[in-house]
Homo-oligomer: A and B are copies of this chain.
Amino acid sequence: MSEQSQQDGPASGGAPTSFEDVYAVNTELVRAVEAALVDNQGAVVRELLAPLRPAEIAHIVVVLGREDRRRLVITLGDDLDVETLIDLEGPVLADLLAVMSPHAVARAIPELDTDEAVHLLKEMDDARREQVLARVPTPDRTAVLEGLSFPEDSAGRLMQRDLIAVPAYWSVGQVIDYCRDTVELPDEFYEIFVIDPRYRPIGQVALNRLMRTRRPVLMREIMEAEATTIPVDMDQEEVAFLFQQYRLASAPVIDADGRLVGVITFDDAAAVLEDEAEEDLMRLSGVSSETDFLDTALRTTRTRASWLLLNLGTAILASLVIAVFEGTIEQIVALAVLMPIVASMGGNAGTQTLTVAVRALATRELTAANAMRIVGKEVVVGSLNGALFAVLVGLVAAYWFSAPALGVVIAIAMVINMVVAGLAGTMIPLGLARAGIDPAVAATVFLTAVTDVVGFFVFLGLAALFLL
């Protein structure tokens, strides 16, 4: 143990000076855990993990292979801190839950916030969830079932039920005494909510505000009345946007009658925000889920295949365009050599525009109010870069094949395709968004279809017209 604790952090005298001093997980530790698991040395595994925090153990679980991951859970048994589970998701979480006994999971539920318990239970199949819930005490079971009843991506799923709500006529002193006398408080909280007699939030007081106010002052006098209130069925991306805009630590959630039903905290919102950015990235690259990386090879193959199939359709469409000009290519084989350049440059310029537009839509920087201005700008950018690269490619082609006319043809095709790329790169995501479709999902396929077809058609068509 003494050697281990020296490795884990700075010696008691020295302050941390690097990331490695602060964060315990590293390749050596993972390899040591792996080795101990393979050798079935449970005591060594426990000793290695003992100094770690739950989030660090969760990180090790993610990095381990599937078999080792299961072995770890079996080895730790009841000693596995449930806080470890809430930092996991998707296939990894499902893996662990499948190995754990319903009893062990059930025992954990009351210790968790509602949103965390819901996060665990939604990864289970119905039968297993029943088994677990049957073992959970009634009040917790009710809270969890209610949590599960909210739509998947809604505020209701993000919120926890535990919160502190007091009437406006309470004094600061009363609130502080209440907190001191009440055992069942939330684990973490950042604001005290002020409610009217019908349990509707009418304001809130940040803890630091409470701290610096004298005891006789009434909550009514110091509460922030204009606080942001989240309807329980609001989409989680909208929730995350509001947290980011207003830099909220927490926000009250209300039901359709305006009654306070829960609270969402900054960490939940931050996770949504990051997931959203990651989702855009994945979708633009044709990966359907963020957990793809940790999924099995077979499931990954299947989910990625659907995108590749779509892409095959696009590629065949482009081939059909080329096939129209088979005769032309037969006579000027240089066209076959050069045509991928036109398509590729258009595709890349279009992807740049598309990516920027998709992100700007997600962050609400691109809206109906400035859409036309942005489309205009992208067309200008496309024209300018089109002109620049037209000259460059035209010269390369003319020199390479000693054919000035060929250089002119490819230059014209390049300008046209890059302007089209700028147009398509903005219009496609705007159109998808207006149609209520996530602009990231199918945008790249559409875009490549456009830039490939236009690229091949214009280049080969112009060649057929002017070079034969």
Give the B-binding residues of A (Cβ under 8 A). Answer: 14-19, 21-23, 25, 27, 30-31, 34, 53, 55-56, 59, 62-65, 87, 176, 179-180, 182, 185-186, 188-190, 200, 206-208, 210-214, 228-231, 234-235, 238, 241-242, 244-247, 249, 254, 256-258, 266-267, 269-271, 273-274, 277-278, 280-282, 284-287, 290, 292-294, 297-298, 300-301, 304-305, 307-309, 311-312, 314-316, 318-319, 322-323, 326, 329-330, 333-341, 343-345, 348-349, 351-352, 354-357, 359-360, 364-370, 373-374, 377, 380-381, 384-385, 388-389, 392-393, 396, 448, 452
Contacts and interface: CB of A to CB of B under 8 A. Distances in A.
Contact of A319 (B19, B208, B341, B388): B341
A227 B396 CA distance: 61
Contacts of A323: 337
A180 B176 CA distance: 14
A189 B389 CA distance: 53
Contact of A348 (B200, B210, B311): B311
A211 B176 contact: yes
Nearest to A86: B247
Given A55-B245, A270-B270, 11 more contacts: A16-B229, A186-B208, A190-B208, A207-B207, A284-B285, A285-B351, A293-B366, A294-B365, A315-B344, A316-B396, A318-B341
Given A19-B234, A59-B364, A341-B316, A189 B176 contact: no
| A contact patch SS | helix
A350 to B, nearest CB: 10
Contacts of A228: 22
Contacts of A369: 27, 30-31, 34, 63
A392 B312 contact: yes
A31 B372 CA distance: 13
Contacts of A377: 297, 300
B293 A356 contact: yes
A308 B345 contact: yes
A282 B359 contact: yes
A340 B365 contact: no
A373 to B, nearest CB: 6
B27 A290 contact: no
Given A274-B277, A373-B65, A245 B360 contact: no
A307 B348 contact: yes
Rank and list the top 3 A-B pairs by shortest CB-CB distance, nearest first: A15-B258, A277-B277, A285-B355
Contacts of A56: 245
A56 B245 CA distance: 8
Contacts of A290: 359
B352 A287 contact: yes
A180 B18 contact: no
B214 A185 contact: no
Contacts of A247: 55, 267
Contact of A336 (B185, B189, B329, B389): B329
Nearest to A344: B315
A18 B315 contact: no
B330 A180 contact: no
B336 A304 contact: no
A17 B256 contact: yes
A100 to B, nearest CB: 22
Contacts of A55: 245-247
